């Protein structure tokens, strides 16, 4: 489905050849003086509002993670914990196999988890962060953020982590989403006001607490967390949509997205 090139909102189905939505067409006509003074303009939802019932990428990624975990559980007969050999067989980020040509391990590791508690914690975090970021950034940017930050997390773990460690889990990508969310609120302080500032402070606190916890317990790949977080900050700054507040024909403030091309 196409987006309006002016505000980023979704165009109706079968809008062949159309590039702007009805709201923007009416607004531009008013600016050209083609509408009467009594013209009214309907209030449009914010550009990041998703239609109810739509299948989100967050749900798809969530489902893939759960399906892979169930597949491993059925294959090994356990959910309490998988051996390093099993994880490597399923595509974990392990130095010898990755260096031997299995480069896809830098991506497949994101869908593997070592235990029930491991996947439960990561999927809970994805359930909290994913929908908000997918709405505010849009599906394409969300997908790029998730996979690129997950990839950068695996590279950081591979380069700086202990030799021979087996890396698995979605936490690197989730830290990337956390970094991108922080940048979003940092760049849109005027749009969200004090509530946005509080959200930004909460994000910084959550990231700091989890990094400290990651450094305090054995078996946690904090290099992947740091790599994902920094990747999310950098990519978030590049990919964050630009929103603005403008008044419609009725004088009502409305939010428009100014970079709907992607």
- Taking all residues of the chain, what is their mean pLDDT, rounded to a whole number? 82
Average pLDDT over residues 103-120: 91
Q: What is the pLDDT of residues 212-240, one digit of tens each?
A: 988 887 778 889 999 999 999 999 999 98
pLDDT confidence band for 261 (50 / 70 / 90): very low
Comparing 64 with 6, the larger pLDDT belongs to 64
| Residue 16, pLDDT score | 61
Binned at pLDDT 50, 70 and 90, residue 77 comes out as confident
* pLDDT digit string, tens, across residues 121-172: 999 999 999 998 998 888 889 999 999 999 999 999 888 877 678 888 999 9
Q: Which amino acids are annotated catalytic?
A: 171, 225
Residues 158-203 have pLDDT tens digits of 888 776 788 889 999 999 999 999 999 998 887 777 888 898 999 9
194 CB-side CA count, 13 A? 0
pTM of the shown model: 0.77
43-68 confidence digits (pLDDT tens): 555 555 555 556 789 999 999 999 99
Residue 92 has pLDDT above 90, yes or no: no
Domain ranges of the chain: 1-47+243-262, 57-239
Domain 57-239: state its class.
mainly alpha
Q: Is the pLDDT of residue 26 over 80?
A: no
């Amino acid at each position: 489905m196409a987006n309006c090139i002016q505000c980023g909102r979704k165009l109706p189905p079968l809008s062949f050849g159309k590039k702007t939505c009805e709201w923007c067409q009416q607004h531009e006509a008013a600016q050209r003086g083609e509408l009467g003074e009594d013209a009214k303009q309907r209030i449009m939802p914010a550009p990041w509002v998703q239609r109810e019932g739509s299948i989100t990428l967050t749900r798809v990624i969530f489902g893939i993670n759960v399906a892979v975990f169930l597949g491993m559980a059925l294959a090994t007969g356990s959910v309490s914990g998988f051996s390093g050999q099993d994880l490597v067989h399923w595509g974990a980020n392990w130095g010898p196999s990755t260096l031997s040509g299995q480069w896809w391990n830098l991506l497949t590791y994101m869908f593997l988890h070592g235990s029930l508690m491991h996947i439960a914690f990561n999927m809970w975090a994805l359930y909290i962060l994913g929908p908000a970021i997918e709405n505010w950034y849009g599906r394409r940017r969300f997908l790029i953020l998730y996979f690129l930050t997950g990839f950068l997390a695996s590279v950081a773990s591979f380069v700086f982590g202990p030799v021979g460690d087996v890396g698995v889990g979605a936490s690197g990508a989730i830290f990337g989403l956390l970094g991108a969310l922080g940048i979003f609120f940092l760049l849109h302080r005027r749009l969200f006001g004090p509530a946005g500032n509080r959200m930004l402070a909460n994000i910084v606190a959550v990231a700091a607490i989890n990094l400290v916890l990651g450094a305090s317990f054995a078996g946690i790949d904090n290099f992947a967390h740091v790599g994902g977080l920094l990747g999310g900050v950098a990519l978030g700054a590049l990919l964050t949509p630009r929103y603005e507040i403008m008044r419609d024909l009725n004088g009502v403030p409305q939010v428009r997205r100014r970079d709907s091309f992607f």
